Amino acid sequence: MDNHTLNRLANRYPTLDLQSLRILAMVADWEGVSMAEIAEELGTSHQHVQFHVSMMAQGKKGREKNSINLLLVEQDPFDKRRKNLRLTQAGESVIKAIKPLIN
């Protein structure tokens, strides 16, 4: 990966920080993972993960236009309290671009 690729990602997704990239990578490796499982794996709070996920999915309430649409948040059909996460096509593109950095 070269500087050009990193600069292009930074310009396209200016709100995408390192913690968000970690969450995105976990969803790529573990499709259908819940926010609670990510929080446990990262050793952080569910609220912290929920904030990052909301910015990468539909955007923070009232700021939906700032959405970067990298994640899909789906209701678990068996547990109404659980939200399952999957990558969008845009999320898959970001993972493909950063894969050399995380391997």
User: For position 40, what pLDDT does the model report?
Assistant: 96
Give the pLDDT of residue 43. Answer: 95
Place of tokens 């050793």: 43
Angle at 85 between CA 83 and CA 87, to 5 degrees: 160
Indicate the number of domains in the chain: 1
CATH code of the domain in which 98 resides: 1.10.10.10
Q: Do the beta carbons of residue 83 and residue 25 sit within 8 Å?
A: no
Q: How much is the pLDDT for 103?
A: 60
- Chunk the chain into consecutive blocks of 10 residues (it has 103) and report each block's average pLDDT, rounded to whole numbers: 71 84 93 94 94 81 72 90 93 88 65
Q: Determine the pLDDT at residue 54.
A: 87
Predicted confidence at residue 9, as pLDDT, reads 79
Q: Which domain holds residue 94?
A: 3-102
